[in-house]
């Protein structure tokens, strides 16, 4: 039975007791079981590790901790052995016995499991040595390696819930609001609105009861920062919400989690239960007299529901459609009452600011954008994953220093920030420092933190079409510009990618973009134009090639490419023939294979399986006429 | 709580009660702003965007729907400048292929939209929601509702309610801006069937 | 054009018994039965269905039926048909009663009409679809019009109004996965299963859906079958993975 904590000193005592009970010399093995690592088989590693430790009778000396996501998912499963912080990546169940016998028992490093840098070939022993992590400043994410999200004691041991008594007992609500204002914390959901001001407006708005909401809808495809925080460190958000509620005068809060994140839903529910048990939530929190409860609301699969007025509608039990927002939610929100809605990352910064102070927070980042930002750096970079960096770092450093540059040595083409509401940023702006205002200046936006890197093999028109399709699918359909406008935009882009583009299409797209920007009901519509506008501004040549020359320079648009087997390279191995799903390839041993262009569905399977690099894509889709019967020129395999 | 404010619509100074919408104030002052999805018996919807006007507040200009925006002291409103005419023109160009009759055609002609660059299936339904909102807010019967989202957004009759009530009531017919009678179908698999002029009520 | 005055909605306490139409007499009969037996309306209906199913199992087939029970009976048959099982009336009714009782439990857990979306999520998880009977029953329990439920059930991608397959295959087509070849994976799965996105295979085994982001962006392309995630997915592995599921 857990005793409810009834004062700040009881919490401090609990922390000291937990720390005293933990043996610092005991080895702790932390394994990430976030969604990413689980997809790569982490659960099996955990199972085998448990068995191995048991069989070697090491249960007294070793503790296995299942932790949350540190963001470098593609090299998962990730195992870290403490206290030495030896970090292993791409761990398989068969590696476990060696980890136990070498590292845990003898403190020896298993070299083949260490991280190897692509460029230099150097290995890294600890997390900090890994270049991906070295240049980051993980004030929000660092605890994810050390906390079992299902155990509140881990969070408490690392100083969690230390900010809460400070706020409740040493500060008045107004002082908390002032502190957040001075810190210059800006909303991390995408808008970048000054958080302190939003809190103040909500606090001063007439009406009771007031509400606070944490938004973890994270609809941006390609972004998973919020997931990693809610999955890996839910208490940081809970603590932030309690402090915020105290400052604003709210007694009820909600955490909105999308149902596509089942592990996040599970972990946040467990965390809420544990916080309640310990008297950190509910009535008379820590004996302060302040009451506050939090409920979880699951989303049901709608990107538009992440928009604040739509989210509020969803919590009210009606369809998650945006409403004409001429009165801010801070004044009239949930059930018409003052509501403060912030992204989960914003709430998670709050305890840190309370503990470490305004000067500390402002010392990180730029003048107008304080603190760190978490980006989901994905796409065609070598190191994909979550990066937490101080605001002001340049795009170049993010992509090349941390991201390790473009995969397979290809050429950079563009980086897209802000999700489907953002814009493409071309090479000439790579030295732009990343912060709210600078990114808006080049036509994009910070958004929630998605950052997709594209290379020479990415067709900008195709990606623009992807975004338009996505938004058209996710649009609520209420207002004409978004519903009908996006439908027409998708139609036009489809035509362009199919080779039926017309000269006037570019003007029509411009007109529709302007309509979306001016006349849409919500931000989904008004920002839907951004990918269009930036792509036609910076990559107009690609559109023109598609329309005038029926050519896709990146050889992506299916109707504009043809697959062609080079007669001089084909070795007639029959592999492509066998793998073609529509049997479009004719050939036999010693006779060069030929693709029947009428049958070919451009699935790309042949290129994938050809061991001789003998197949190429051509655009425009006019391959040389292939005659059957050419004899093979034998070559040595590379 | 009725505070009076002074604002300017198209340069003309008017007074109004704080909190009324721009559209209501305009109507009271005989200034014409076109609408498609607005009806004074129901809460404003803000879906058609035809009633958009340009406001200047604190030196910044933006477009807002006059049916939903509450007036404030010192607001400057323009109801028919070039920017607005362009927006209305584009909206009508998008709507015309869907429903080329009644008030929509009249509006289109007024704003110089005689033909459209766009192609769309002529469903005769612009999803303005007047029938849905009337049935929900005024009649409180909820016999029809919006289903789906985005491009597959539609209006469907409730098979448990519509076949009995709609033939008797039919009050929403006069509201439809496409000028067509709203006819419903009695079909148990309701959600794949939209309301359109091509469906008829099955008798019984 | 008829403009006959309709019974004003505020005249009666509730215009309709859920989605089922009732005349004044039918309603008063039901009220009388409820009073006598001391049960709530939903309880009376459930009891009625139970009695009806016993009636059929006795081989009798012309029961005197009140209008609402007749409607529910029709729903039960259609429902059983949609699930492609059970041909006998009494079993269809038993199935419905069982489902309605489970729905009662779920609604009781929240007991709040604002929690409609959460209730529907639980029902979709439990039954693999939102059946018409579920809509009617929730409408009755929470006292909200069926239109609100249909609106929500069709707005959100998570809900289906037709039964899903035994296994749900979701292919992620978020931006990161798109850029890494997600569409090719989707095509291959569509081809292998012989269905399009959003459909169920004819044997009811697999449902295929697109999902817009699972949060595994660094591992794109990603597919999920039930709760099993497959990262760094290769099109060549489609057949192998799908054959793991029966």
- The size of the B-C interface in CB pairs under 8 A is 65
CB contact A483 to B (< 8 Å)? yes
Of B63, B98, B152, the CB nearest to A518: B63
Query: In chain A, which among 283-312 make CB contacts under 8 A with chain C?
Result: 297-303
Q: Model ipTM?
A: 0.89
The residue out of A311, A344, A362 marking a domain boundary is A362
A384: nearest CA in chain C?
A: C218
Tell me whether residues C20 and B160 touch, CB distance under 8 A: yes
> DSSP class of residue A221?
T
Task: Tell whether A379 and A286 lie within a shared domain.
Answer: no
- With CA atoms as reference, report the closest residue to C4 among B130, B164, B157: B164
pLDDT tops 60 at residue A309: yes
The per-residue pLDDT for C65 is 66
Joined tokens for residue C106: 């779920």
Task: Tell whether A97 and A180 lie within a shared domain.
Answer: no
Task: Tell whether A254 and A331 lie within a shared domain.
Answer: yes
pLDDT tops 90 at residue A68: no
The per-residue pLDDT for C22 is 56
Whether A523 is in a domain gets the answer yes
Task: Tell whether A124 and A30 lie within a shared domain.
Answer: yes
Tell me whether residues C229 and A35 touch, CB distance under 8 A: yes
Q: Which residues pair with A124 in a beta bridge?
A: A115
Whether A626 is in a domain gets the answer no
pLDDT in tens, A596-620: 998 898 888 888 889 988 999 998 9
Task: Tell whether A425 and A444 lie within a shared domain.
Answer: yes
Tell me whether residues B141 and C161 touch, CB distance under 8 A: no
CB contact A222 to C (< 8 Å)? yes
CA distance A623 to chain B (A): 34
Joined tokens for residue A318: 């009606």
pLDDT tops 90 at residue C15: no
pLDDT in tens, C124-135: 989 888 988 898
The per-residue pLDDT for C176 is 77
Tell me whether residues B120 and A481 touch, CB distance under 8 A: no
Whether A367 is in a domain gets the answer no
What does the DSSP assignment read for A69-93? --S-GGG-S-EEEETTTEEE-S--G
Confidence of residue C201 (pLDDT cuts 50, 70, 90): confident
Mean pLDDT of A372-392: 90
> Regarding predicted confidence, which is higher, B130 or B188?
B130
The per-residue pLDDT for B100 is 82
CA distance A480 to chain C (A): 17
The per-residue pLDDT for A148 is 92
Task: Tell whether A572 and A527 lie within a shared domain.
Answer: no
Report the SS3 class of residue A362: helix
Task: Tell whether A166 and A297 lie within a shared domain.
Answer: yes
Joined tokens for residue A629: 């019967």
pLDDT tops 60 at residue B203: no
Mean pLDDT of A426-433: 94
Q: What is the CATH number of the domain that holds A450?
A: 3.10.20.600
Task: Tell whether A344 and A204 lie within a shared domain.
Answer: yes
What are the extents of the domains in chain B? 4-80, 130-202
Chains in contact with C, counting 3 or more C-beta pairs less than 8 Å apart as contact: A, B
pLDDT tops 60 at residue B199: no
What does the DSSP assignment read for chain B? ---EEEEEETTEEEEEETT-BHHHHHHHTT-----SS--TTS-----S-TTEEEEEETTEEEEEETTTPBP-TT-EEESS-HHHHHHHHHHHHHHTTT--SHHHHHHHHHTT--S-S------S-----HHHHIIIIIS----EEEES-GGG-EEEE-TTTHHHHHHHH-GGGGG-TT---------SSGGG----TT--PPP-
CA distance A343 to chain B (A): 25
For an interface test with B, the pick among A480, A482, A495, A524 (most B C-beta atoms closer than 10 Å) comes out as A480
CB contact B19 to C (< 8 Å)? no
Residue A361 half-sphere exposure, CB side, CA atoms within 13 Å?
A: 25
Tell me whether residues B94 and A326 touch, CB distance under 8 A: no
Whether A388 is in a domain gets the answer yes
- Residue A504: count other Cβ atoms within 10 Å of its Cβ: 11
The per-residue pLDDT for A581 is 83
The per-residue pLDDT for C29 is 73
Mean pLDDT of A434-459: 89
- With CA atoms as reference, report the closest residue to C155 among A587, A198, A475: A475
- Strands A450-455 and A372-379, by their bridges, are parallel
Task: Tell whether A338 and A429 lie within a shared domain.
Answer: no
The per-residue pLDDT for A298 is 93
Confidence of residue B191 (pLDDT cuts 50, 70, 90): very low
- Are B22 and B53 contacting, i.e. CB atoms less than 8 angstroms apart? yes
Which residue carries 């941006």 as its tokens? A220
> Regarding predicted confidence, which is higher, A191 or A253?
A253
Tell me whether residues C18 and B139 touch, CB distance under 8 A: no
Whether A553 is in a domain gets the answer no
B96: nearest CA in chain A?
A: A484
How far from C132 is each of B147, C50, C76, C150, CA to CA, in Å? 15, 19, 10, 9
Mean pLDDT of B182-199: 39
CB contact B137 to C (< 8 Å)? no
Tell me whether residues A521 and B149 touch, CB distance under 8 A: no
CB contact A9 to B (< 8 Å)? no
Instruction: List, in order, residues 6 or more apart from A298 with CB less than 8 Å away.
Output: A256, A257, A258, A259, A265, C117, C118, C121
The per-residue pLDDT for C210 is 87
The residue out of A310, A334, A362 marking a domain boundary is A362
What b/e readout covers B41-64, taking b as 16+ CB neighbours within 10 angstroms? ebebbbbbbbbbbbbeeeeeeebb
The per-residue pLDDT for B204 is 22
pLDDT in tens, A110-136: 888 988 887 778 888 888 888 888 888
Query: In chain A, which among 336-365 make CB contacts under 8 A with chain C?
Result: none
The per-residue pLDDT for A488 is 96
The CATH architecture assigned to B4-80 reads Roll (3.10)
CA distance B95 to chain A (A): 8
Mean pLDDT of A252-269: 92
Residue-averaged pLDDT of chain A: 90
> DSSP class of residue A402?
I
Chains in contact with A, counting 3 or more C-beta pairs less than 8 Å apart as contact: B, C
The per-residue pLDDT for A518 is 93
Of B52, B118, B150, the CB nearest to A474: B150
Query: In chain A, which among 419-448 make CB contacts under 8 A with chain C?
Result: 419-420
pLDDT tops 80 at residue C86: no
Instruction: List, in order, residues 6 or more apart from A578 with CB less than 8 Å away.
Output: none
Q: What is the CATH number of the domain that holds A582?
A: 3.30.70.20
pLDDT in tens, A173-209: 999 999 999 999 999 988 889 999 999 999 999 999 9
- Are C130 and C120 contacting, i.e. CB atoms less than 8 angstroms apart? yes
CA distance C37 to chain A (A): 34
Task: Tell whether A305 and A184 lie within a shared domain.
Answer: yes
Tell me whether residues C188 and A603 touch, CB distance under 8 A: yes
Of C6, C136, C150, the CB nearest to B147: C150
CB contact A604 to C (< 8 Å)? yes
**Owning domain of residue A310:** 152-362
Tell me whether residues C176 and A416 touch, CB distance under 8 A: no
The per-residue pLDDT for C67 is 62
| Of A46-60, A491-505, B179-193, minimum mean pLDDT range | B179-193
Residues in chain B with CB shorter than 8 Å from the CB of A477 are 127, 148-153
Confidence of residue C61 (pLDDT cuts 50, 70, 90): low
Mean pLDDT of A409-414: 94
Instruction: List, in order, residues 6 or more apart from B58 with CB less than 8 Å away.
Output: none
Mean pLDDT of A537-551: 95
- Chain centroid to CA A156: 26
Tell me whether residues B158 and C147 touch, CB distance under 8 A: yes
- Are C92 and C86 contacting, i.e. CB atoms less than 8 angstroms apart? yes
Residues in chain A with CB shorter than 8 Å from the CB of C215 are 35-36, 218, 223-224, 227-228, 260-261
Domain count for chain A? 5
Q: What is the CATH number of the domain that holds A236?
A: 3.40.50.11540
Mean pLDDT of A521-530: 90
Confidence of residue C10 (pLDDT cuts 50, 70, 90): very low
Residues in chain A with CB shorter than 8 Å from the CB of B150 are 472-477, 483, 486
Residue-averaged pLDDT of chain C: 78
Distance between CA atoms of residues A340 and A209, nearest Å: 12
The per-residue pLDDT for B69 is 92
The per-residue pLDDT for A433 is 93
- The size of the A-B interface in CB pairs under 8 A is 95
pLDDT tops 50 at residue C203: yes
Task: Tell whether A225 and A321 lie within a shared domain.
Answer: yes
- The size of the A-C interface in CB pairs under 8 A is 155
> Does the predicted model carry a pTM greater than 0.95?
no
Q: What is the CATH number of the domain that holds A487?
A: 1.20.1440.230
Confidence of residue C205 (pLDDT cuts 50, 70, 90): confident
- Strands B4-9 and B76-78, by their bridges, are parallel
The per-residue pLDDT for B195 is 39
C14: nearest CA in chain B?
A: B141
pLDDT in tens, B88-143: 999 999 999 988 877 888 899 999 998 899 998 887 788 999 989 999 999 998 88
What Rg value do the Cα atoms of chain A yield, rounded? 27
Mean pLDDT of A552-572: 91
Distance between CA atoms of residues B145 and A252, nearest Å: 32
Mean pLDDT of A169-175: 95
The per-residue pLDDT for C87 is 64
Tell me whether residues A260 and C159 touch, CB distance under 8 A: no
pLDDT in tens, A211-249: 999 999 888 887 888 988 999 999 999 999 999 999 999
Tell me whether residues B160 and C9 touch, CB distance under 8 A: no
Mean pLDDT of B33-38: 93
The per-residue pLDDT for A82 is 87
CA distance B18 to chain A (A): 14
- Residue A252: count other Cβ atoms within 10 Å of its Cβ: 17
pLDDT tops 90 at residue C21: no
Mean pLDDT of A396-408: 91
B51: nearest CA in chain A?
A: A519
CA distance A41 to chain C (A): 9
Distance between CA atoms of residues A589 and A284, nearest Å: 82
The per-residue pLDDT for B188 is 34
Residues in chain A with CB shorter than 8 Å from the CB of B70 are 326-327
Whether A302 is in a domain gets the answer yes
Task: Tell whether A241 and A344 lie within a shared domain.
Answer: yes
CA distance B91 to chain A (A): 7
């Amino acid at each position: 039975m857990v005793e409810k904590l009834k004062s700040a000193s009881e919490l401090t005592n609990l922390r000291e007791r937990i720390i005293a009970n933990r043996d610092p010399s005991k080895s702790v093995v932390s394994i990430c079981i976030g969604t990413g690592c689980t997809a790569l088989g982490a659960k099996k590693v955990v199972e085998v590790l448990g068995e191995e430790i048991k069989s070697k009778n090491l249960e007294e000396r070793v503790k296995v901790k299942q932790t949350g996501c540190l963001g470098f998912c593609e090299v998962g499963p990730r195992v870290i052995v403490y206290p030495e912080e030896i970090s292993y990546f791409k761990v398989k169940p068969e590696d476990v016995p060696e980890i136990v016998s070498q590292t845990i028992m003898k403190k020896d490093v298993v070299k083949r499991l260490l991280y190897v840098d692509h460029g230099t070939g150097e290995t890294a022993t600890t997390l900090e040595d890994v270049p991906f992590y070295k240049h980051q400043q993980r004030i929000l994410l660092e605890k994810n390696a050390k906390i079992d999200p299902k155990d509140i004691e881990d969070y408490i041991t690392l100083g969690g819930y230390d900010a809460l008594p400070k706020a409740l007992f040493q500060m008045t609500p107004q002082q908390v609001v002032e502190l957040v204002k001075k810190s210059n914390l800006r909303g991390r959901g995408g808008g970048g609105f000054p958080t302190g001001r939003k809190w103040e407006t909500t606090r001063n708005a007439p009406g009771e009861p007031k509400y606070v909401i944490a938004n973890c809808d994270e609809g941006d495809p390609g972004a998973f920062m919020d997931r990693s925080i809610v999955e890996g460190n839910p208490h940081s958000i809970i603590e932030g919400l309690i402090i915020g509620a105290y400052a604003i005068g709210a007694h009820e809060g909600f955490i909105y989690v999308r149902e596509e994140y089942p592990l996040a839903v599970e972990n946040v529910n467990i965390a809420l239960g544990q916080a309640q048990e310990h008297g950190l939530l509910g009535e008379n929190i820590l004996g302060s007299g302040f009451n506050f409860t939090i409920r979880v609301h699951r989303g049901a699969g709608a990107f538009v529901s992440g928009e604040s007025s739509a989210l509020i509608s969803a919590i009210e039990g009606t369809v998650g459609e945006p409403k004409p927002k001429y009165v801010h939610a801070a004044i009239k929100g949930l059930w018409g009452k003052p509501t403060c809605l912030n992204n989960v990352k914003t709430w998670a910064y709050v305890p840190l600011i309370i503990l470490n102070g305004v000067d500390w927070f402002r010392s990180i980042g730029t003048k107008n954008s304080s603190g760190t930002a978490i980006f989901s750096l994905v796409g065609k970079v070598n190191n994909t994953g979550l990066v937490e960096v101080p605001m002001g770092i340049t795009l170049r450093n993010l992509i090349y220093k941390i991201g390790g540059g473009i995969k397979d040595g290809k050429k950079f083409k563009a980086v897209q920030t802000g999700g489907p509401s953002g814009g493409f940023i071309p090479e000439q702006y790579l030295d732009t420092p990343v912060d709210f205002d600078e990114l808006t200046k080049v036509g994009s936006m910070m958004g929630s933190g998605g950052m997709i890197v594209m290379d020479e093999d990415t067709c900008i028109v195709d990606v623009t079409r992807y975004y338009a399709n996505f938004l058209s699918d996710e649009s609520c359909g209420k207002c004409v510009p978004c519903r009908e406008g996006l439908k027409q935009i998708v139609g036009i882009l489809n035509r362009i990618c199919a080779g039926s583009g017309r000269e006037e299409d570019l003007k029509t797209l411009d007109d529709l973009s302007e309509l979306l920007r001016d006349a849409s009901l919500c931000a989904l519509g008004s920002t839907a134009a951004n990918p269009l506008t930036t792509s036609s501004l910076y990559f107009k040549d690609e559109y023109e090639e598609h329309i005038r020359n029926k050519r896709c320079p990146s050889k992506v648009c299916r109707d504009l490419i043809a697959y062609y087997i080079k007669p001089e390279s084909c070795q007639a191995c029959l592999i492509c023939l066998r793998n073609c799903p529509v049997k479009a390839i004719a050939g036999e041993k010693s006779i060069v294979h030929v693709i029947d262009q009428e049958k070919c569905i451009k699935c790309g399977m042949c290129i994938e399986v050809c061991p001789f690099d003998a197949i190429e894509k051509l655009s425009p889709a006019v391959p040389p006429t292939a005659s059957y019967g050419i004899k093979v020129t034998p070559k040595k395999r590379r | 709580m009725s505070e009076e404010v002074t604002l300017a619509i198209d340069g003309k100074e008017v007074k109004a009660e704080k909190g009324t919408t721009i559209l209501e104030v305009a109507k009271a002052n005989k200034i014409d702003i076109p609408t498609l999805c607005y009806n004074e018996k129901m809460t404003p919807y803000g879906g058609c965007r035809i009633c958009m006007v340009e406001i200047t507040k604190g030196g910044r200009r933006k477009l807002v729907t006059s049916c939903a925006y509450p007036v404030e002291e010192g607001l400057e409103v323009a109801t028919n400048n070039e920017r607005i005419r362009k927006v209305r023109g584009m909206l009508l160009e998008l709507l015309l292929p869907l429903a080329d009759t009644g008030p929509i055609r009249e509006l289109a002609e007024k704003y110089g939209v005689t033909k459209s660059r766009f192609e769309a299936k002529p469903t005769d339904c612009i999803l303005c929601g007047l029938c849905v909102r009337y049935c929900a807010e005024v009649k409180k019967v909820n016999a029809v509702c919006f289903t789906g989202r985005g491009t597959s957004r539609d209006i469907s009759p409730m098979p448990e309610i519509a076949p009995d009530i709609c033939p008797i009531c039919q009050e929403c017919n006069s509201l439809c801006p496409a000028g067509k009678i709203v006819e419903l179908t009695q079909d148990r698999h309701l959600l794949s069937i939209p309301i359109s002029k091509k469906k008829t009520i099955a008798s019984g | 054009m008829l403009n006959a005055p309709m019974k004003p909605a505020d005249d009666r306490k509730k215009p309709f018994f859920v989605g089922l139409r009732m005349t004044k007499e039918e309603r008063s009969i039901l009220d009388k039965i409820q009073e006598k037996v001391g049960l709530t309306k939903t309880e009376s209906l459930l009891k009625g269905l139970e009695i009806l199913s016993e009636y059929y199992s006795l081989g009798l087939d012309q029961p005197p039926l009140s209008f609402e029970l007749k409607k529910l009976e029709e729903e039960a048959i259609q429902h059983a048909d949609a699930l492609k099982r059970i041909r006998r009336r009494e079993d269809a009714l038993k199935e419905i009663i069982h489902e309605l009782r489970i729905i009662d439990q779920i609604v009781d857990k929240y007991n709040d009409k604002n929690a409609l979306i959460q209730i529907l999520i639980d029902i979709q998880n439990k039954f693999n679809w939102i059946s018409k009977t579920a809509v009617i029953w929730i409408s009755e329990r929470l006292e909200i019009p069926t239109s609100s439920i249909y609106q929500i059930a069709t707005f959100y991608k998570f809900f289906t109004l037709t039964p899903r397959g035994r296994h749900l295959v979701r292919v992620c087509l978020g931006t990161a996965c798109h850029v890494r070849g997600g569409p090719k994976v989707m095509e291959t799965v569509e081809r292998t299963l012989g269905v399009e996105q959003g459909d169920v295979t004819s044997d009811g085994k697999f449902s295929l859906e697109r999902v817009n982001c699972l949060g595994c962006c660094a591992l794109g392309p990603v597919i999920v079958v039930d709760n099993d995630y497959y990262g760094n997915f290769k099109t060549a592995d489609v057949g192998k993975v799908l054959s793991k599921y029966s």
